[in-house]
Each structure stands twice: as structure tokens, then as C-alpha cells.
Amino acid sequence: MGDSSLSDLKPEYRVDGSCWKFVPVISEGFFNQRPGDIFRHHLILLQLQLAVIFTLAAIIHFFLGRFYLPRLISEVLAGVILGPTVLGRFFPDISAVLFSEQSVKVLATLTRFGYLFFMFLIGVKMDVNLIKKSGKREWTIGTMVMLFPLLVTVMIGRHISIVVDKVDAQSAQYEVSFFTGVLMLTSFPVVAILLMQLKIINSELGHLTLSSALISDMVSLVMVNIGNYRVIMLLASLRVALKSLFLVAVLIVFILTVLQQMLYWIIRKTPEGKPVKDAYIFFVVIALLVVAIVGENVGLQYMYGPFILGLTVPTGHPLASTLIEKLDTIVSGWMLPLMSTYCGYRSNLWNLNRLPPYWIMFAVTFGFFLKVACGFIPAFCFKVPCKDATALAFMLAAKGIVELGTFATNAEKQSTVTQEFTWAVIIVFIFAALVPILTRKLYDPSKTYAGYQKRTVLNSSINEGVRMLACAHRQDDALSAIKLLQLSNPSTGSPLSVYGLYLEELVGGASPLLLNHQLGQRSSSDGGRWQPIIDIFNYFKSQSSKPIQVHVYTAISPSSLMHEDVCWVAFDNLVALIILPFHRKWNRKGKLISDSKDLRDFNTKVMNKAPCSVAILIDRDRGRNSSIIDDSSTYNICVVFLGGKDDREALSIARRMKGWPSVFLTVIRLKETEDMITGWEGMMDDECLRDIKHPSNENGNVLYKEEIVRHGADTSALIGSILDENFDLICVGRHSQCDSPLIEGLSAWTDLPELGTIGDLLVSAEISKPISILVVQQQVIEK
């Protein structure tokens, strides 16, 4: 007994004269059995299948990704190669071993589980309040782009199938309507994935497209289920349809009441800042599986129950973010690619021995152009630019993983003809490849905030005042910004408009939010995280005796696209200067306590794309008890002026501060020679300094000095001596494209190019004095 292998212990049963032998899921080992027998074990075969599928898909995407094609294309192609089209046709023996009939059923089951969890996560990521915030424009576009093409194409396609293709009425009633209807729907997940891929989800066009897609998806959800119950009434009876409708209503009410209250109970039981317990996550997973099973048995398709359950999960922290953290990787990285590959595997291009039926050709051609037209016309009527309206219409007609999953689910249940399923996969494949290419041609996100007008502090009208946008990731960022903002010295003749923007990373949601708190906008999640920031800016306004207007926003978006929100708020409000917090933080003893690479990347992206001037504020002045500077305080400001547009902008900011009686401004001009004027730039520098050079009543607290420096070493020594003086704030230009001999040799030692050569010297790690630095970059004008 001890010498027997596990295979000798397998029990045998006879059922109707046949012998069934149970084969273990795992192998006893490669050397304990014949080499060919190892593929009898389902787990071993599944692991081999997954390895082959993902390796082949990765190789294909390595080449196709260079053409900006989505990964879905590579996954479908991998399935086509491994399916009957290539492997089954030319290497049938390998195909029979690698993809046996029983193992394919296991793959099909995994894809259904993946689609189920995917729909649940889509519900979790959706912010239903996005519908409430949508206006007339979004509702019109979202409704028209779905309702009109769906009704017209389904009706005409059904008629063509009966009259031209000679399809029987019952098949036309369900199969033709289903196939045509799926092609006419707009899927919110597909549009959201496309916008993320194109990196325009935070643009104005992205917000409009996302809101329209969400409305379209919600309307289509109602329409599809109405159509399903209509089919039940025609094929079964009114009694069956009403019974099913009643049971579905009971299930939805149960989800929206009992289960939702349990989800809120989980949130209440989770301490602030702590992750949700694994036991609660297991409960949610079990609940969504039960909802899927019950929904399938009462007449609701198995994916809709989890989707509705996902909608009931409150967005953001802690539950939604934890669910996405736990499930998103395995679903998006494993189960969904497996579904794409499985759809490609099930299709067989060799069966396409004739043209597709006329009703399919009609749905693809006329239906597509009708859907694009129904997206373009209302957008254009609402004064969306022609190219943007066309790009929006194409994106709302995009197809992807949701359509593939719907076709695959229907194929399993309805035994769809292989040829029709293959055509469905081809159509989705073509749409998924073409829509991103067409959108990129029509909409260039790099030119969204291109500057054609001068939006700088230097060029700001005195009567209109200046508009500044202060960005904050945390409370001390806002406190640092308002110190600088009060120094700007607004007056009745030159008021100050402040736009405070609290930036929060999107966690547990698919829909970025931009909330204008002056309009009373709120998110479905708790606003306690941004309320302190709002209070700081409102306190700044209430304590100031100067003419100041304050507007506060909150932007919730992915960290990689957060700069888009900053640029959009600046662009939309005609801001002249964006103030960004530095990515390093120090404590009151001057010790470095934080160095965020993500925040540094964010600052760099804003500087590269901003529609106005940008300043990075390095606040080392942690010793002040108050964030507001009163008239009794003495504040010493220094401007290091080498020349160039960035220095002129920095001087313009400092010039506004000299109106305070307690502010003393020192301007130090670095020159190579005594009478240095080099071309047009030198003349503009002298013009900018003219009122600073000459003493006057207005310049009683201004000191102008000139220093002769020969090269970078002299400049570095001078910067060191400036740091030894008692300055509270030093303003410098970035000099991003400067090749002046004054900084010759210093550029090679610059660690932080976003600060420029002088800014990098001022934030050196050897410096521990509580001096704040403002590095300014003037607006980059598109030529």
C-alpha cells in the first residue's frame, strides 16, 4: 500500500455500463507518470494554457502597441491564432492536446466569472451623482446617441433579415434584434477605458463624453431589459413575464435596501484611516455571487445583479477603494484578457465562406454612420467645435470588452451560429482598432490649453487685476499659498482673484470629478477631506481688508492625469499664474521629511502644458505661527535678476508686493559687464527694470543692486552670499532655455531641471535656513 502511487488509489464507478475514473486536478509529478499523461490534469493544463495565452498576447502587443492600438486587439489576435483559425487548422494534434473540449469549458467558466466581477467593479467605480450633475447638453447627447440608432437600426435590420436574408420571424425577433442592438449601444466602461488610454479623461471633451456615455448606458440598461421582457411575453406568456418582472423587482429592492445598508454598516465599522477587514470583503464577494445566481434564475441576466450591487457601494474610501485594490488587478489583468482571448479562440475565420447577411452589413454601415451622426449633431448644436464633436461621436460609438462579453455570454446560452459570432468578433475588433486612431487624428490633447493670448502677471491689466490659481494637496500647501497671495497686495484699482484647487487622487472610482464649491457641488463620498482646505481659503478672504475674490474647487482624478484638472481650471478662469507646492517638505528644524516623485512629475507636467505662467513655491518658512502676514510684520523679499522672460515675470510678481509698508524688496541684477545690453531681450529687461532703478516715493522700500559676474562659479558664490542675508522670500526665473554665460557650467550639476539652474542652487540639501523660494516660468506661447 505504501509503495502504490496515488493513481493506483483512484476509485472507479460503473454507471450504465461505462467506467468513470476520477483524475486528480494536480499532477503526482512529472517523473511518476508517462509524459503524455500530465495533460490529463486540469490544473496543469490550465496553467499551461494561461502561460501560452498571455505570452503570445504580450508578444503581439509589443509590436502593435507601437501603433497605439489597445491591448484588446492583441488579446483577440492571440485567441484567433490559438483557435481553429490557425492552430486547429494547421496543427490539429497540438490543438487537441492543449485545448481539449473539457479544458475549453473550464476557460469558458473562468471568463464568465471574470465578466461577472468586471461588471461589479464597473458599478463600484461609477459615481451615480455624475448623472445628477449632468446638464441638458449631456442628457441630449447621451439619449440621442443611443435611443434613435437603436430603434431605427433594429427595426430596419429585422425587416431586412426577413425579406432579403429569408430569416424566420422568430430568429429575427430575438437573434437579429440582439445582434443589432448590441452594436448600437454605448458602453460606459468601454468609453472610460478609451478615454484613459487616450489620456483625455480629464479634459472638457473627456468630461462631456464620459457623462454622455454614463447617461446612454443607464438608458440602454432600461431599454434592453424592456426588450427582454417583451421577448418573454412573445415566446412564453404574459404571466411568465410579469412573474419574472416581479421577482427581479424584489431582488433589486433587496439590493438597494438590505445589502446597501449592510455596506454602510461595514463602512461605519471601519475605523478612520484603516483598511476594510478581509472578512467584510469576503462577505461582499459572496453577496455578489449570490445576487448573480438569484438574478439568473429569476430572469435577470447574471451580470446585471452584481452591476446593481456595485452601484450601491459608496464611492471612495474605505470600501470602494479596498474592493478595487483587492479585485481590480486579478480582474483587469487576468480574467478580462482571458475573455478577449476566448472570444478570439471561439471565432473561426475559415467558416466565413460567404459575405455576411445583409442585415449585418446594414447594422455595421448604416447603423454606425447613424450613431455617429446622432452623437455629432446634438454636440455641434450645443456649440462644441466641429472636430471635437466628431471625436466625441466616434468615442460614443466605440466597442470593446463589454460587447465581446455580451456576445460570448449570448453564444453560450443561445448556441449562436459560429459564423455570426465570428462576424461579431471581427466587427468589435475593427471598431476597437479604428476609433482610437480616428480620435487621435481629430483631437490633439497636447493643444487643449495652447496659449494664443498672453496670460501672465506681467501682461495682466491693472484695472482687471490678476487671477491666481493656488494648488494644494494638503493643508500646509494651502497655508503656504495664502501667505504668498496676501503679499500680492490687491487694491481697489487692481483686485486679486484667487482660485483654490484641492487635488485628491482618484481611488475607488472611474469618473474623475471637478467640484465647484461656490455652486454647492458635492461628491457622493464624504467631503471631510477637503473641507479644511475650503476653510483655509475662506478664512483668508474673511481676514483680508483688501478687495479679494476667492473661489474654491476640488479635483478628484488619477494622479497621472491630475495636471489636466489644473490646466483646465486655469484655462477656464483666465488665470495668469498657477502656484504649485514643491515636492519636498521640511520640518521646523529644516530636516527633509518628504520627497514625492509623483508630485514632482505632476509639477513638471503642469509646467509643460499650462496655459499661463507657473510658479513653484518652496516653503521652508515653518517658524511662523500665523499663515497671514499683518502690517506689523517685516518681510524681506529678494529678486535675483539675470534677464529673460522668466525673470521679468518673477519681477512682476515681486513688484506687486512692494506696496505693503512692511515689505522690503531687494532686486539684484547679475551682469557680465557694466553696460550689458544684448539685443531685444536686453532692451526688454531694461524697460522692465526702469521704474525699479530710479528712486521715487513709490520705491521707498525698494533696493536695486547690480553685481558683475563672469561665469557660473561667480554666480554660485553670489547665490551663497544672498542666502546668508536675512531674506524671507527669494524670487527667481526658471531660465528653462537660457544659455547665458552667467550660469555657464552650472547646468551640468542641476538635479531639478524644473527649478532651473538658480532655483536648483537655492534648494540645495546643504541649505537649512527657513527661506521660501518662488521659481517662476512665464507662459509658453505657441508659435
68: left (phi over 0), alpha (psi -120 to 50) or beta: left
* Same domain flag for 608 and 644: no
CATH value at residue 542: 3.40.50.620
Domain boundary pick from 424, 443, 462:
443
* Same domain flag for 376 and 252: yes
Helix locations, 658-703, DSSP H: 679-693
CATH value at residue 389: 1.20.1530
* CA-based nearest residue to 501, from 202, 201, 125, 209: 202
Q: Which residue has the higher pLDDT, 626 or 666?
A: 666
pLDDT digits (tens, 9 = 90+) for 662-691: 888 889 888 877 665 566 777 888 888 887
All three cell numbers of 291, joined, read: 445576487
Overall size of the chain counted in residues? 783
* Residue environment code for 282-297, b if the CB has 16+ CB neighbours within 10 A, otherwise e: eebbebbbebbebbee
Contact 76, 340 (CB under 8 A): yes
Instruction: Report whether pLDDT(626) > 60.
Output: no
- Report if residue 327 sits inside a domain: yes
* Same domain flag for 575 and 603: yes
* Same domain flag for 397 and 538: no
Instruction: Report whether pLDDT(544) > 60.
Output: yes
- Report if residue 173 sits inside a domain: yes
All three cell numbers of 312, joined, read: 450601491
Instruction: Report whether pLDDT(591) > 60.
Output: yes
* Same domain flag for 183 and 320: yes
- Report if residue 250 sits inside a domain: yes
pLDDT digits (tens, 9 = 90+) for 291-321: 999 988 887 777 888 888 988 888 767 788 7
According to DSSP, the residues that pair with 595 across neighbouring strands are 584
Instruction: Report whether pLDDT(26) > 70.
Output: no
* Same domain flag for 368 and 476: no
Instruction: Report whether pLDDT(169) > 80.
Output: no
- Report if residue 356 sits inside a domain: yes
Q: How far is CA 34 from the centre of its chain?
A: 51
Q: Phi and psi of 144, rounded to 5°?
A: -65, -40
Contact 181, 150 (CB under 8 A): yes
pLDDT digits (tens, 9 = 90+) for 213-265: 988 888 887 887 777 777 677 666 777 778 888 888 898 899 988 988 998 88
* CA-based nearest residue to 217, from 188, 252, 182, 191: 188
* Same domain flag for 643 and 760: yes
Sequence letter at residue 739? D
* Same domain flag for 540 and 585: yes
CA dihedral of residues 345, 349, 355, 361 (deg, nearest 10): 30
Query: Domain total for the chain?
Result: 3
Supply the pLDDT for residue 602.
92
Range of the domain at 401: 117-341+350-443
Half-sphere exposure of 28 (CA within 13 A, CB side): 15
End-to-end C-alpha distance for the chain, whole angstroms:
86
* Same domain flag for 535 and 491: yes
Supply the pLDDT for residue 13.
42
Q: How far apart are CA 715 and CA 477, in angstroms?
A: 30
Contact 312, 124 (CB under 8 A): no
- Report if residue 85 sits inside a domain: no
Supply the pLDDT for residue 453.
64
* Same domain flag for 258 and 323: yes
Instruction: Report whether pLDDT(77) > 90.
Output: yes
Contact 142, 211 (CB under 8 A): yes
Percent helix, strand and coil across the chain, each rounded to 5? Answer: 60, 10, 30
Instruction: Report whether pLDDT(528) > 50.
Output: yes
Strand-pair category, 548-557 with 513-516: antiparallel
- Report if residue 145 sits inside a domain: yes
**pLDDT confidence bin for 524, thresholds 50/70/90:** very low
Q: How far apart are CA 378 and CA 138, in angstroms?
A: 9
* Same domain flag for 220 and 310: yes
* Same domain flag for 595 and 621: yes
Q: Which residue has the higher pLDDT, 546 or 36?
A: 546
Q: Rounded to the nearest 5 degrees, what angle is found at the Cα of 362, between the Cα atoms of 358 and 366?
A: 165
pTM to 2 decimals? 0.70
Q: How far is CA 278 from CA 18, 274, 357, in A?
A: 46, 12, 51
**pLDDT confidence bin for 556, thresholds 50/70/90:** confident
pLDDT digits (tens, 9 = 90+) for 439-462: 988 887 666 665 446 788 888 776
Q: What is the Cα gyration radius of the chain? A: 32
- Report if residue 93 sits inside a domain: no
All three cell numbers of 46, joined, read: 490550465
* CA-based nearest residue to 318, from 372, 281, 283, 365: 281
As a whole number, the mean pLDDT across the chain is: 80
Helix locations, 415-495, DSSP H: 418-442, 475-487
Whose cell is 494561461? That residue is 50
Domain boundary pick from 443, 472, 503:
443
DSSP 581-611: E-SEEE-TTS-EEEE-HHHHHHHHHHHHH-S
- Report if residue 216 sits inside a domain: yes
Q: How far apart are CA 212 and CA 143, in angstroms?
A: 8
Domain boundary pick from 421, 443, 465:
443
According to DSSP, the residues that pair with 666 across neighbouring strands are 638, 703
Q: How far apart are CA 672 and CA 675, in angstroms?
A: 9
